[in-house]
Each structure stands twice: as C-alpha cells, then as structure tokens.
C-alpha cells in the first residue's frame, strides 16, 4: 500500500473537509426546499428567493448567528418562525378599543376612518406621477407582472413569456437571477426630481414593493431580497424621497399587500385566510417600517383583492396612521385595503385602474393611469402606437380635473380648460355665473378678454386674434376667471 507523505495527508484532509461541508450544505438545502415544497403543493411553478426565517426582528439581523442556528437545529425551523411571529407581531397593531374614547382619535372602523378629512395639500395637487420601477424592469417584457405571467398557474400570456425566456435565457434561469442585473447605474435621484418639478406635477408615487416581494428599500422584513442587498446596492426609496422633497414635492409610496409566491401568503390562502402569518410577519411590518422611516405623504396600497380587510388588519393600520404615526396630519391613503373595500372606503377613491367616472363625484377620487396602454412598467417590445398621444393624455387630465379653483389672498380664481380651439373664437361655458367684477384671461396671454353673460346662466367668452408666436399652447388652453358669484 502506498504510504502518503504529510503534504498528501493534509491535502486529503482538506478535500474531505470540503466535501463534508458541501454535503452538509446540500442536505440543508434539500431539507429546506423539500419542507417548503411539501407545504406549497398547489400547482405553482416558481423559484422562491424569499428568506422567511428571522425576518420579523426589528433589531439588526445577525446572519452569522442565523446560519449557526440553522446548522445546530435544522429540524426546529418551522417552530422558530412561529415563535418569531408570536414574539414580535403583537407589538405592531397598537390602536384598538382605547382609540374610541378620545374624540380626536379615529377608532379602527371604516365609519370613523372615512370621516377623516383629506389634507389640504392633496385637494390642491391636481397632477401626480406614478412610477412602476423594480426588478421586473430587467426582463422588461410583457408587463410588471412578468414573474406571474412566467410562473403563475393562471397566467393568461404564459406561452409568450415562456417563449421569451427560452429564446433569451438559459434553461435553469430563475426570477431571482434577474436581481444582480437590476443595477440602476444611471439612476440619479436629483435629475429625476428636476424632471418631475418641471413637469408641473405636485406629487410623486414610487413603487416600494410590487407583487413579486422585492423591496426598493433595505427592508428588515425582506432579507436579501431588497435593493440594498442585491441589485442597485442603493436605498432607492430613500434617495428619491429626499430628492423629491428638495423640490417641495410630495412623496408617496406604492406597496403591494400580497406577494404572488410568498410561502406564508400561499399557506394563509390555503387556509381560506383564517390564518394571518403573512400579514403579521411580512406585509404589515413593512408598512409600519415604510411610514416610520420614510414618512410618506401617500400610502398607495394594492394587491388586496383576494382577501377581506379583516385579514389584512387594514383598519388597525389606518387608525394608527391617522392617530399616532409621524405623518398622521399629512398622509393620504387610497381605497385598496380589502376585496370589499375598493371604491367604498379609505382616503381618496381609485376604484379601478384608469378610473374615470365621467361625472362629478361626492368624494375625492384619482385616475391612476399609464402612458403605455398595456403596462405600468417599461416593456422592451412596446411600439409607438402603444403609447398615449399628447392629445389623449391632455384630454384625460382635463376630464379628470374639470373646472378647478385656487384661493389667493381671499380672491378666488376659477380655471376652465379647452382641448379644442373654440369655433369662431367664441367659448361658451354653462357653469360659471358672472358678476360685476368678473374678469377673464387666458394663461400665457395676459390681455383681458371680453365676455357676456348668458341670460340662462353661464358665460360667453370672445377670444381675440392671437398670432402663432403669442399662442401659449397648441394642445390645450386654460381660461382664468375671477369675480364669479358661484366660485
């Protein structure tokens, strides 16, 4: 038998040690994935990048200690998750029955929460910018629902998405593999804020988390699946929020309540939402974190439609938001807080995507819409015909805003917008009621305009000849009226 020298023995020992380590890692991986797959046998084809263990701690996450716990106690993982849920989450939803004893507080029920007036800033801010930007921007195919259209069992365009992946990526590619390519190397928050300010928008809403679960901020509840841990290596929410506020714009955050493939959500769903492990361990802690850290002016909730608001603990969160949060006097919410809530309760009503009722509403509402008729996010396969023209965009804005008014130094100005140049330079408006001090001008053209009152109500405006060089715009024209008796 060949006798090994010392160098050979050392080399052999190291190889055996390496093989042993690899075997242990392989064993743990098989255990974890088999445990998850046994719980999630509901027909989904997906790759799961989520780390649900020890994600609910508000304290600094200790990855070394976490790995040691996994190695030392590989069979206690499920119980460990349960313990963390029980330990941490009772602290999250503080506003309860005690809220109703104070007349200045809002108890956690829709009847009371719906009476909370919208902050003045939102009433005056007519136009905002909604940004869908995230990991789905890397494949940039189909829509921001890319992962679902690729792996969701009920996806409608699954065939096209699978063909796209087969053509462009290796066979074992996972959705998590897109994360390192979400580098955002050209992202400059200051440049973005300058564009938003110059556009005339008054508020900006950024996607903090879409239905995929990847967070655009370093969330303590999305370990390794966030923009600081992988991809841009930046706090995108924090950087853009600071830059936007430097321009005196309001800053809001879009947050999806549910996540397509999160194991805890799928388990709650199988339990007919009688359990709330996902709500307690993931989505509600994220919302509290977003509010406390970034102090947003808008919480734009989404992804609520599969479960009632009682599953999401929506009224408890909103009561805390209005009563005790750092933005309790300035924050605005939408109406997507449960499958029976939309278009009924919440702050402003959004009802459905691209909501435009066409008639005046009793409550403040928002028309959240896209410039690409097929997607909220960027699509590389989009063509020019998929984008709304400037005429369509302005028509939508005008239909949404209608008359508007502004009060300055106790003087009220009312604005009417026309998207077609009036026939024979005469504009007739049925709504305004004139008085002795009524004055009419066109924004961008300072010369006052002649007008006559309609005997049956309304006003006739005679528009003088305006040369091409003096014309303030070629798509829409705004008429400013002061001194109206019904302003």
Q: Which three-class secondary structure state does DSSP give residue 283? A: helix
Query: In this structure, are strands 477-482 and 459-462 parallel, antiparallel, or unpaired?
Result: unpaired
The CA distance from 246 to 190, in Å, is 9
The CA distance from 417 to 272, in Å, is 49
**Residues near 317 by Cβ (< 8 Å), separated by ≥ 6?**
93, 284, 287, 288
pLDDT of residue 344: 92
pLDDT of residue 426: 92
Beta-strand ranges (E) seen in 112-214 are 128-131, 203-209
pLDDT of residue 33: 40
The CA distance from 372 to 369, in Å, is 9
Phi, psi of 440 (to 5 degrees): -125, 130
pLDDT of residue 46: 45
Write out the chain's pLDDT in tens, 487 residues. 455 566 656 655 555 555 454 444 444 444 334 433 333 334 444 444 443 333 333 333 343 344 344 344 443 434 544 444 444 443 444 443 333 345 689 999 999 999 999 999 988 888 899 999 999 999 999 899 999 999 998 888 899 999 999 999 999 999 999 999 999 999 999 999 999 999 999 999 999 999 999 999 999 999 899 999 999 999 999 999 999 999 999 999 999 999 999 999 999 999 999 999 999 999 999 999 999 999 999 999 999 999 999 999 999 999 999 999 999 999 999 999 999 999 899 988 877 777 677 666 677 777 888 888 888 888 888 888 888 888 888 888 887 778 777 787 778 889 998 888 888 999 999 888 888 889 999 999 988 999 999 888 889 999 999 888 888 888 889 999 998 888 6
- Give the CA angle between residues 404, 406, 412 to the nearest 5°: 110
> What's the chain's Rg over C-alpha atoms?
28
The CA distance from 327 to 335, in Å, is 18
pLDDT of residue 1: 46
Token output for 84: 């963390």
Residue 360 vs residues 121, 219, 357, 365: alpha-carbon distances, Å: 20, 40, 8, 10
Instruction: Give the number of C-alpha atoms closer than 13 A to the C-alpha of residue 466, restricted to the C-beta side.
Output: 23
Q: Any idea which residue has 């005196």 for tokens?
A: 248
DSSP labels, 86-107: HHHGGGT---SGGGGGSTTS--
Token output for 442: 């066109």
Residue 478 vs residues 4, 225, 398: alpha-carbon distances, Å: 92, 47, 10
The CA distance from 169 to 149, in Å, is 16
Q: Which three-class secondary structure state does DSSP give residue 389? A: coil
Helix axes 236-246, 189-199, angle to 10 degrees: 40
pTM for this model (two decimals): 0.75
The CA distance from 197 to 371, in Å, is 18
Residue 431 vs residues 282, 454, 476, 484: alpha-carbon distances, Å: 50, 10, 19, 10
Q: Any idea which residue has 């003096």 for tokens?
A: 470
Beta bridge pairs of residue 404: 415
């Amino acid at each position: 038998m060949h006798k090994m020298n010392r160098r050979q023995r050392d080399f052999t020992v190291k190889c055996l040690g390496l093989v042993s380590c690899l075997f242990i890692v392989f064993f743990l991986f098989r255990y974890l994935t088999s445990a998850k797959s046994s719980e999630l046998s509901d027909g989904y084809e997906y790759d799961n990048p989520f780390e649900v263990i020890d994600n609910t701690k508000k304290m600094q996450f200790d990855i070394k200690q976490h790995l040691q716990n996994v190695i030392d106690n590989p069979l206690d993982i499920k119980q460990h998750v349960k313990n963390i849920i029980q330990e941490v989450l009772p602290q999250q939803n503080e506003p309860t029955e005690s809220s109703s004893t104070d007349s200045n507080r809002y108890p956690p029920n829709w009847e009371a929460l719906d009476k909370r007036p919208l902050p003045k800033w939102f009433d005056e801010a007519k136009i905002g910018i909604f940004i869908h930007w995230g990991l789905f921007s890397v494949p940039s195919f189909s829509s921001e629902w890319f992962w679902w259209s690729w792996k969701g069992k009920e996806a409608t365009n699954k065939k096209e998405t699978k063909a796209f992946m087969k053509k462009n990526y290796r066979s074992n590619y996972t959705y998590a593999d897109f994360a390192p390519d979400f580098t955002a190397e050209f992202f400059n928050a200051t440049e973005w804020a300058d564009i938003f300010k110059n556009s005339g928008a008054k508020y900006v809403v950024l996607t903090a988390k879409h239905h995929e679960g990847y967070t655009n901020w370093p969330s303590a509840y999305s370990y390794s699946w966030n923009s600081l841990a992988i991809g841009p290596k930046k706090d995108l929410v924090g950087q853009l929020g600071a830059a936007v506020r430097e321009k005196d714009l309001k800053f809001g955050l879009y947050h999806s309540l549910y996540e397509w493939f999160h194991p805890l959500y799928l388990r709650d769903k199988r339990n007919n939402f009688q359990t709330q492990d996902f709500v307690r361990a993931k989505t509600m802690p994220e919302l509290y974190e977003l509010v406390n850290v970034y102090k947003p002016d808008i919480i734009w909730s989404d992804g609520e439609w599969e479960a009632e608001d009682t599953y999401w603990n929506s009224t408890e969160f909103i009561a805390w938001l209005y009563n005790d949060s750092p933005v309790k006097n300035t924050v605005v919410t939408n109406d997507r807080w449960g499958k029976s809530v939309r278009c009924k309760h919440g702050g402003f009503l959004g009802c459905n995507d691209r909501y435009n009722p066409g008639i005046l509403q009793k409550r403040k509402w928002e028309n959240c819409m896209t410039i690409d008729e097929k997607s909220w996010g960027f699509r590389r396969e989009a063509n020019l015909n998929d984008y709304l023209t400037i005429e369509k965009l302005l028509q939508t804005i005008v239909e949404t805003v209608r008359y508007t008014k502004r009060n300055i130094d106790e003087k009220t100005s009312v604005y009417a917008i026309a998207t077609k140049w009036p026939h024979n330079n005469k504009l007739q408006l049925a709504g305004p009621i004139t008085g002795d001090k009524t004055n009419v001008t066109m924004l961008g053209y300072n010369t006052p305009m002649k007008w006559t009152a309609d005997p049956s109500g309304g006003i006739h405006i005679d528009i003088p000849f305006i040369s091409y060089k003096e014309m303030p715009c070629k798509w829409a024209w705004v008429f400013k009226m002061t001194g109206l008796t019904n302003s």
